[in-house]
Amino acid sequence: MKDLANGDVGRAGQRTASVGLETLSDDDCWEHLFSHRLGRIAIVVAGFPQIFPVNYVAGGGAIVFRSDPGSKLAHGPGALACFEVDEYNPSSGLGWSVMVTGLLEDITDGDDPDSARLRSLSVEPLAPGKHRHWLALRPGKVSGRAFRSGWAIPGAFLG
């Protein structure tokens, strides 16, 4: 008999929910960060946290994105920020989330080799605008978790 509590597939393709959240390794977290291009950056604006979607690239030990002048550029550089990317597949019931916290820097005019290397990464914003400013989140902490939700039957969710 299969062990459904460990996510094995039962009759009719059923799977059980995760017993708990699985903590992702640093390597797994970075693999998820490398494989996606859209995430969310959270910064404090006028005393309140705000979340902005950004097209990004993970590389050189940083999360890099481009921006036009506005809230991200006015309040982000020099401050602690939080970045998140996640995914959920309703067919399989599998989900994960990765969070990166650290110092956000404006590397637009940085003449150091690290800033130049980060600006050479391919970041293509989808939102309209020139996005001439380059921002890099230097991780202080990277964490992630994965889960399997409710009973899942191929093509249906039984929560």
The strand ranges marked E within 19-155 are: 22-23, 38-45, 48-59, 62-67, 80-89, 94-106, 133-148, 152-153
Residue 88 CB neighbour total at 10 angstroms: 12
Backbone φ, ψ for residue 128 (5° rounding) = -65, 155
Give, for all 159 residues of the chain, the pLDDT tens digit. Answer: 333 344 455 444 545 545 568 999 999 999 999 999 999 999 999 999 999 999 999 999 999 999 999 999 999 999 999 999 999 998 888 999 999 999 999 999 999 999 999 999 999 888 888 899 999 999 999 999 998 876 545 555 455
How far is the C-alpha of 150 from the C-alpha of 72, rounded, in Å?
37
Which residues touch 1 (CB under 8 Å, ≥6 apart)?
none
Q: Which domains does the chain have, with CATH numbers?
A: 23-145 (2.30.110.10)
